[in-house]
Chain A
Amino acid sequence: MPSRLLGPQNRYLWFWVFTGPFVVGLGVFVYVPLLWSLALSFFDARNTVTPTHFVGLSNYTSVLGDSAFTSSLATFAVFCLFIVPATYALSLALALMVNRLRLARAFFRSVFFLPTACSYVVASVIWKLSLFNGVRFGLANTVLRWFGQDPVAWLSTSHPPWYWLVIVTVRLWLQAGFYMVLILAGLQRIPRALYEAAAVDGARPGWQVFRHITFPQLRATSVAVVLLLVINAFQAFDEFYNLLSTARGYPPYARPPLVYLYYVALGQGQDLGIGSAGAVVLALIIALVTVVQARWFGLGRKEE
């Protein structure tokens, strides 16, 4: 009996010596909280983690009926629409240009990659208080003044919603270099023979080669990059919080799902029941978005 549990040469025992600590930790700190939270979503859990009052689906109906929640989903959709294509296009352009460099290639790669070392908090400090400072001495407003324009209150006005420019550019700057590195790795995996064959067939270097060889060959990388971009946009919190929140609180506009959840679950109400229900709904949405995207890209592959 012990030998069946321990396996040949105690191999099963050794397997658990190596993986046990990690698996136990994962159970305690990831799976247990998830199940617990699922349970909380069916209880009235204001300011408590061990509620006794079962309320069925009422937390879910109040989350879905909360206009702040639905508008946070709209905010995410708008954000995604801006940031995903912009980051993909910029990272791809950077990767293509850096890849063709013969001189100073490592230098340029480092320059574009360096913002990855910066936190969203530090970047928000620069964007909010220097680059897009709403007063006259901000850099953007200084440039506007050179062209005889009036200063713009970038973050504190919603008509027109200039805050989107600030929010999108900060993330673009922070993440473009990271995805450039992923795409560069994809570019290196394209067999050189394909380019040689294209040259023999008379394809012009530049657009024709890009359209018929580079871009189709990058397909797997592109799909991975877009999936990562969407998931990361969904989790956006740091830059929204640091750019828009003030001593007076968070403005009523531009609240992405995570900011909504933060204020519901950990704000003054500390309503963990509604917070948990919101987290479950968000989990279902992100799962759905991922599956739909994977299907969409996957179906495209079969047509080839």
Chain B
Amino acid sequence: MRKNGEATIQDAHVRLGRALRAVIIGALAVLFLVPFYLLVRGGLSSESDLTSPGWTFFPRTLRWSNVRELFDDPSVPMLHALWNSTQIAVLTTLGTLLLASLAGYGLARIPYPYANHVFYAILGTLMIPSAVTFVPSFVLVSTLGWISTLRGLIVPTLFSGFAAFVFRQYFLGFPKELEDAARVDGLGHWRTYWRVVVPNSRPVFAAVGAIVFIGSWNAFLWPLVIGQDQQAWTVQVALATFTTAQVVNLHELFVAAAVSILPLVVVFVVLQRYIVAGVERSGID
């Protein structure tokens, strides 16, 4: 048994520690939100407010007209870039989910003597960093004549070893009883997959889909290399072009950047549970 005095000292220590942690985590949270604040502040300020020497924490008047100004500016193809990014991200996500989930299911559930060899061939591509593949992939895409086309931006990125790996691991643990029941009802592999397996696997599709969508929307190096003409620019390439330009129109650039992350913030808020699950799955276990 502890003495009374010692116990209260320890309690005080615990309480102090808890308060200290609360202060630290609160301060860190504020720091992590500062960049978002700077983005919104920049997007809703006038150019003269932004470049005035004194710091204003909030713009004197919120200039929502900046958004219209951005979309009306003919020298900035932002609307077209948003449309390109949307098409690329949606098609890449759907294509990756289809191809990788089929492959993952085949590897996990259909016995084949050389299934392991196929699996290792897929696993091998996980070890190859994109640093090594972008020059060779550029060579292939330019040979196909796909430079500055949506095809060139989408098709080479559809074969994600990561997605196939996650699906295989998931389907290995899929309850066999459900499939057996479908088998008894006379369904073959194909219809079992579409009628029983897919409808019962929505969370893993949401997790992989959200991660692929975010990755595709935010991708920069590949769209920079392949989307050379202005009509093939994605949002990221368009933003980068303004950032590195000679004359920078600050408020317009900030509003463009804010508009570009809006779709992802929505995806994030709606699908966060699945995204976190997806990140956890991607950790090598």
Contact = CB atoms under 8 A, between A and B. Distances in A.
Interface of A: 7, 11-12, 14-19, 21-23, 25-26, 28-34, 36-37, 40, 49-50, 94, 97-98, 100-101, 108-131, 135-137, 139, 142, 173, 177-178, 181-182, 185-186, 205-206, 220-221, 224, 231, 234-235, 237-238, 241-242, 245-247, 257-258, 261-262, 265-266, 272, 275-276, 278-280, 282-283, 286-287, 290
Interface of B: 14, 17, 21, 24-25, 28-29, 32-36, 38-39, 41-42, 50-53, 55, 99-100, 102-103, 105-107, 110-112, 115, 118, 121-122, 125, 127-140, 142-143, 155-156, 158-159, 161, 164, 188-190, 193, 214, 217-218, 220-221, 224-225, 236, 239-240, 243-246, 248, 250, 253-254, 257, 260-261, 264-265, 267-268, 272, 275-276, 279-280, 283-285
B135 A125 contact: no
Contacts of B136: 33-34, 36-37, 276, 279
Central interface residue in A23, A177, A245, by most chain B CB within 10 Å: A23
Which 9 pairs from chain A and chain B are nearest by CB? A18-B106, A37-B136, A33-B136, A119-B218, A22-B103, A19-B106, A247-B246, A15-B112, A185-B280
Given A19-B103, A247-B246, A100 B156 contact: no
A237 B134 CA distance: 12
Given A129-B243, A139-B38, A238-B220, A18 B261 contact: no
Nearest to A106: B272
Given A18-B189, A119-B260, A36 B121 contact: no
Given A7-B112, A136-B53, A247-B245, 8 more contacts: A26-B125, A33-B136, A119-B220, A139-B38, A142-B55, A235-B130, A266-B138, A279-B132
Contact of B110 (A15, A115, A220): A15
A117 B240 contact: no
A33 B130 CA distance: 12
A242 B42 contact: no
A205 B21 CA distance: 14
B118 A19 contact: yes
A137 B52 contact: yes
Nearest to A103: B22
A261 B32 contact: no
A235 B236 contact: no
Contacts of B285: 220
Contacts of A261: 131, 134-135
Central interface residue in B106, B127, B272, by most chain A CB within 10 Å: B106
Central interface residue in A108, A126, A185, A220, by most chain B CB within 10 Å: A126
14 contacts: A11-B110, A28-B140, A30-B137, A111-B32, A112-B29, A113-B276, A121-B236, A121-B239, A173-B35, A245-B244, A247-B244, A272-B139, A286-B132, A290-B127
A205 to B, nearest CB: 8
B58 to A, nearest CB: 14
Contact of B239 (A122, A135, A286): A122
B159 A125 contact: no
Contact of B129 (A23, A26, A220, A235): A235
